Homo-oligomer: A and B are copies of this chain.
Amino acid sequence: MKIKYTLLHKDKNTKARYGTIETNYGKFETPMFMPVGTQATVKTLDPEEIKEIGAGIILSNTYHLWLRPGEDIVSKAGGLHKFMNYDGPILTDCGGFQVFSLAKPKDISEEGVVFKSHINGEKLFLTPEKSIEIQNKLDSDIAMSFDECPPYPVTYEYMKNSVERTIRWAKRGKAVFNNPNQSLFGIVQGGEFEDLREWSCKETVKLDFDGYSIGGTSVGEDKPTMYKMIEYGIKYLPEDKPRYLMGVGEPTDLFEGVERGVDMFDCVLPTRLARHGHAFTKYGKINLRNAKYKEDFTPVDSTCDCKCCKNYTKAYIRHLLVADETLGQRLLSIHNLRFLIRIMEDIRKAIKEDKFLELKEEFYNNYKKK
């Protein structure tokens, strides 16, 4: 079965939308933030904990799984869900973002991309067909079309060539796509160029995908530019399909994305911050390694309902981090992910009540951007 998106309510004052997505592994509500499970594991969490934090869907990385353990092993295990023992929805990216950060511009041809493995330097070649073939074998619920994700900034000419090629790649990938239980999203690009975003959206929509991803964000542009990139394209995307803003996970960016009509987000930020000892709180980010928490026997965020905040103190988390005990990173990962997922829960509730802007204002008043 393909996924089924149902638009249930539109906020009266913004483009924010509330809906649901049904998959073969259960239904989840949107807008939704997806924890990232790069190598078939959300770093430091087990599948029970992923469920506990209310993750409706997780993301896993095609590039990483292609290299390790290899898509054939995942396939022999019965697909990614069985391999990692996770029975909720999974989305896989196309590998493009990882590949392009390892490739040089001259390595990109019409056929595909040549790059070096980050593990052993081995020369690898990824094509639109290969990306789809790998994802078909991984058997995620949602696969991504192979795109070029150019750095920021590039010239208009570069970007024009790039989006045109990405459309040709999208067609090639769609042509070989062969998994009836998997859905396929197209990716729109175009950088900060309004007409290219429009063109990319329209051409991608013509190919009739099961959903649409907005790419090329969080690659170095400033925030106002990122918000424009969303606006330029999203108006050309169909209302009856989900929209996914790739690689975005700052709390305030979730609000900005939702306000502009985005349904899905993913980002490594919450787990990466956690591994460095940082935590989201209602009042902004804090660094738990700070000596001032040595004797602070209060929770990381007293307004949070996660396992970390309900059971442990800042002093204990700080001790674990300083003593290099992985439980500290795990508890903070759980907290940071739950923090973003709880924002999305609040957002969904607010949209249903046409109170999105009130919620946004309240959140921004507390949350000091650092």
Check A20 for interface membership: any CB of B closer than 8 A.
no
Check A283 for interface membership: any CB of B closer than 8 A.
no
Number of A residues whose C-beta is below 8 Å from B? 38
The docked-state distance in angstroms from the alpha carbon of A64 to that of B325 is 13
Given B39, B44, B307, which contacts A319 in the complex, CB threshold below 8 Å?
B39
Given B77, B313, B327, which contacts A297 in the complex, CB threshold below 8 Å?
B77
Residues of B with C-beta under 8 A to A297:
76-78
A327 touches B73 (CB 8 A): no
Q: Which residue of B lies closest to A318 (CB)?
A: B69
* Known contacts A73-B295, A294-B73: A312-B85 contact under CB 8 Å: yes
Check A84 for interface membership: any CB of B closer than 8 A.
yes
A315 touches B41 (CB 8 A): no
Q: Which residue of B lies closest to A70 (CB)?
A: B294
Indicate how many identical chains form the complex. Answer: 2
Residues of B with C-beta under 8 A to A325:
39, 41, 43
Check A235 for interface membership: any CB of B closer than 8 A.
no
User: How many Å from the CB of A84 to the closest CB on chain B?
Assistant: 6
Residues of B with C-beta under 8 A to A312:
85
* Interface positions of A from 193 to 236, Cβ below 8 Å from B: none
Check A154 for interface membership: any CB of B closer than 8 A.
no
Query: A314-342: contact bitstring with B at CB < 8 Å (1 yes, 0 no)?
Result: 01101110110111011100000000000
Can you name 6 extra interface pairs (CB under 8 A) apart from A69-B319, A69-B322? A39-B325, A40-B316, A69-B294, A77-B316, A84-B316, A85-B311
Query: A23-62: contact bitstring with B at CB < 8 Å (1 yes, 0 no)?
Result: 0000000000000000111011111000000000000000
The docked-state distance in angstroms from the alpha carbon of A313 to that of B45 is 17
* Known contacts A84-B316, A85-B312, A315-B77: A39-B323 contact under CB 8 Å: yes
Check A152 for interface membership: any CB of B closer than 8 A.
no
Q: Which residue of B lies closest to A83 (CB)?
A: B316
Check A349 for interface membership: any CB of B closer than 8 A.
no
The docked-state distance in angstroms from the alpha carbon of A47 to that of B76 is 35
Q: Which residue of B lies closest to A48 (CB)?
A: B307
* A interface residues, Cβ below 8 angstroms from B: 39-41, 43-47, 64, 68-69, 73, 76-78, 83-85, 294-295, 297, 307, 311-313, 315-316, 318-320, 322-323, 325-327, 329-331
Q: Which residue of B lies closest to A334 (CB)?
A: B46
Residues of B with C-beta under 8 A to A311:
47, 85
User: How many Å from the CB of A233 to the closest CB on chain B?
Assistant: 35
A-B residue pairs, 6 tightest by C-beta: A69-B319, A39-B323, A85-B311, A41-B327, A41-B325, A326-B326
* Known contacts A46-B327, A76-B295: A85-B41 contact under CB 8 Å: no
Residues of B with C-beta under 8 A to A329:
326
* Known contacts A77-B313, A313-B77: A327-B44 contact under CB 8 Å: yes
B315 touches A69 (CB 8 A): yes
A-B contact pairs, 28 of them (CB 8 A): A39-B319, A39-B323, A39-B325, A40-B319, A41-B325, A41-B327, A43-B325, A43-B326, A43-B327, A44-B327, A45-B327, A46-B307, A46-B331, A64-B323, A68-B322, A69-B318, A69-B319, A69-B322, A73-B315, A73-B319, A76-B297, A77-B316, A83-B315, A83-B319, A84-B316, A85-B311, A85-B312, A326-B326
B323 touches A68 (CB 8 A): yes
The docked-state distance in angstroms from the alpha carbon of A45 to that of B319 is 15
A85 touches B326 (CB 8 A): no
B320 touches A41 (CB 8 A): yes
